[in-house]
Amino acid sequence: MTKPVQGFSKLTKEEKIEWIVSNYTHDSESAKYLLKRYWNSDSDLQKLHDEFIENTITNYYLPLGIAPNFLINNKLYAIPMAIEESSVVAAASKAAKFWLDRGGFKTTILGTEKIGQVHFMFLGDTTKLKTFFNYIEPKLRSESSDITKNMEKRGGGISKIELRDKTSELANYYQLHCTFETLDAMGANFINSCLEQFAKTLEQEAQSFSDFNETEKNIEVVMSILSNYVPNCLVRAEVSCPVDELTDDENNATEFAKKMIQAIAIAKAEPHRAVTHNKGIMNGIDAVILATGNDFRAVEAGVHAYASKDGKYTSLTDASMEDGVFKFWIEIPLALGTVGGLTSLHPLVKLALEILQKPSAKELMQIVAVAGLAQNFAAVRSLVTTGIQEGHMKMHLLNILNQLGATDQEKSTLTKYFKKNTATHSSVVEAFENLRKEND
C-alpha cells in the first residue's frame, strides 16, 4: 500500500517523477520516458512552464488551430483556438466562411462592469448599520487608494460600493457589493486586493463607531472575493441577412431558417437541450479563451449562471425571421483580459494575441462572443440538416485510426474511402481490419 508522501513540493522535478511513477504506474520506466518526452528542449522555456503552477512534472499539450475568415465589424480575423475536440475548428471556420459572404458578424459591448463582494455577519440594528456604512464609504475608497491609483490613472478603478441586506436569505448576513472597471486586465488580483482592504476598514471602523453597542462593534467578515458572475460585463454578437441568401445547394432557404428558429426555440424551452446547445457555444468560446491565456473556468461558471438568470436554464442564443430577414444573435457575459497573467508570460499566448492584432479586452470580448456564435450556428445548422454525426465522425476519423495504429498509407486510403461512406466507430474498425487483411 502506498504511503502518504511528506514534503512533495520540496522535491526536485526528477524526484517528484520518480516517486509518482514508482508508486502509481505499472511500468515506471515507460511512464518516466513519456513524461520526459513532453519536456521542452529549450531549458529556459521549460523553466517558465514549470513555474506556472506547483508540483510540475511535465507539459500537457493541446492542439492550437486557426479558424480563418472571420469578418467582425468589417475587420478580418484569423482566430486561434486551443482545443482537443474534433470538428470544432472546422465548424467555426465553415461558419465564418458562410457569413463572410453575407456581411460578417456585428458586435456591441453592452457593459464592462466587474463585481466583488465582502461577505459579513452583523448582529444588531440594520438602521444603525446603514448609518455606519454611509459614514465609512468614503474611507473604504481612501484607504484603498494605494491599490487603486495606477488603475485610476488608466481610467479604471472602483465604480460603486453598496451595502446589501441579505438577512431574508441567511440570518445576520450582509455584504458590500462592489463594482469595478479594470480596463484591459481581467482584474482578479486588483479586485480581491481592494476587497480585502475594504474588509479591514469595515472591521476596524466598527470598533470605534459610537452608535454601535459591544455586540454590533464585532462585525465578522467571513470572506472577501470577486464574483465570476458578471451579468453587466456583457457583449452582443449577431449575424443577419435576407432569408433568400441563406440558400445553398442542399437546403431551401425559408425552410432552413424556420428549422433554425425552431431549434433555438426548443433550446429555450427545454433545459436538457439547452445544456448541450450551450456546451456547443462554449466549444468555440473556451478554445479562444485558452489560446489567449484567459480563465475558461471563470467564464464557464459566469456564462451558465447567466443562462439561468430568469429562473430557468435556457439557450444563450436567439434567432428570428422578420420582414424577410433572418437574424441570429447571442448576448453573453465575458470578463477577459489582454494584459497580466499568462498574457504576458506564455509565448504562445502572446503570439495568439498578436495574430488577433493585439486586441483590447473589449475587442477580445467581441472576438470570443463571435467564436461562440459561429460554433452554435454551425452545430445547429448540422442538426437541422444532415445531422451532427456525419461531419463529426469524419473529423474524428483520424483519432480512431491513430488508436488502431494505422500507418500513413492506411490513413490515406481510409480517409478517401470515408469521403463517400458513413464513418462510425464500428465502420472505421471494420474497414481498417479489412484493409489489413487485403494487405497481408
Which domain CATH number covers 299? 3.90.770.10
For residues 311-323, average pLDDT = 97
| Domain assignment present for 55 | no
On whether both 43 and 91 belong to a single domain, the answer is no
328 contacts 260 by C-beta, under 8 angstroms: yes
Distance separating alpha carbons of residues 19 and 2, to the nearest angstrom: 10
Together in a domain, 214 and 264:
no
Q: What is the pTM of this model?
A: 0.88
367 and 304 within one domain: yes
Closest-CA residue to 67 (of 427, 429, 387, 378): 378
Question: How is 314-370 classified by DSSP, letter by letter?
Answer: --SEEEEEETTEEEEEEEEE----SBSGGGGT-HHHHHHHHHTTS--HHHHHHHHHH
Query: In angstroms, rounded to a whole number, what is the distance separating the alpha carbons of residues 331 and 394?
Result: 32
Domain match, 31 and 144 both: no
Flag whether 56 is in a domain: no
Q: Residue 182 maps to which CATH number?
A: 3.30.70.420
Q: Is 149 in the same domain as 95?
A: no
Q: How many CB atoms lie within 10 A of CB 400?
A: 19
* 360 and 406 housed in the same domain: no
What pLDDT was estimated at residue 395? Answer: 62
d(CA 321, CA 111): 27
250 pLDDT exceeds 70? no
CA angle 365, 245, 377 (to 5 degrees): 35
In this structure, what are the phi and psi dihedrals at residue 162, rounded to the nearest 5 degrees? Answer: -125, 145
Say whether both 171 and 133 belong to one domain: yes
Shared-domain flag, residues 93 and 134: no
Residue 2 lies in a domain: no
Residue 422 included in any domain:
yes
Is residue 197, in this structure, part of any structural domain at all? yes
Could you say which of 227, 244, 271 is where a domain stops? Answer: 227
Q: In what order do the strands lie in the sheet with 234-242?
A: 106-109, 234-242, 325-333, 317-322
Is the Cα torsion angle 110, 116, 121, 124 positive or negative in sign? negative
Question: What H or E segment, with its residue span, contains residue 435?
Answer: helix 425-439
Q: Are residues 267 and 218 in the same domain?
A: no
Average pLDDT over residues 168-172: 98
Percent of the chain with pLDDT over 70: 97
CA atoms within 13 A on the CB side of 357: 8
Residues 382-439 have pLDDT tens digits of 999 876 555 555 567 777 888 888 888 888 888 888 777 777 778 888 888 888 888 7
Supply the range of the domain harboring residue 286.
64-108+235-386
**Rounded average pLDDT over 359-386:** 96
Task: Give the mean pLDDT of 94-121.
Answer: 97
- CB-hemisphere CA count at 13 Å for 201? 21
Say if CB 350 and CB 343 are below 8 A apart: yes
Is the per-residue pLDDT at 344 higher than 60?
yes
DSSP string, 276-311: HHHHHHHHHHHHHHHHTT--HHHHHHHHHHHTTTTS
CA separation for the pair 20, 36 (Å, rounded): 13
For residues 281 and 347, membership in a common domain is answered with yes
Tell me 245's DSSP state: G
Q: Please say whether the beta carbons of 300 and 286 come within 8 A.
A: yes
Judgement on whether residues 275 and 360 belong to the same structural domain of the protein: yes
pLDDT of residue 158: 98
Cα 50 versus chain centre, distance? 23
- Angstrom CA distances, 249 to 41, 184, 252, 292, 384, stand at 50, 44, 8, 37, 15
Number of domains making up the chain: 4
Establish if 359 belongs to a structural domain. Answer: yes
In a domain, 36, yes or no: yes
Which of the residue ranges 184-188, 269-273, 353-357 would you say has the lowest mean pLDDT? 184-188
Residue finishing a domain among 183, 206, 227:
227
pLDDT digits (tens, 9 = 90+) for 112-145: 999 999 999 999 999 999 999 999 999 999 999 9
Q: Is 90 exceeded by the pLDDT of residue 93?
A: yes
The more confidently predicted of residues 150 and 411 is 150
Report the mean per-residue pLDDT for the chain: 94
pLDDT of the residue at 432 = 86
Cα–Cα nearest to 58, from 25, 85, 31, 82: 31
pLDDT range class, residue 248, cuts 50, 70, 90: low
Distance (Å, rounded) from C-alpha 285 to C-alpha 302? 13
Query: Looking at the domain assignment, is residue 58 inside a domain?
Result: no
Residue 285: predicted pLDDT: 98
- Does 400 lie in the same domain as 298? no
Please list, residue by residue across 219-244, b when 16 or more beta carbons sit within 10 angstroms of its beta carbon and e when fewer do: bebeebebbbbbeebbbbbbbbbebe
> So which residues are the catalytic ones?
85, 279, 295, 392
pLDDT of residue 422: 75
- The last residue of one of the domains, among 386, 406, 424, is 386
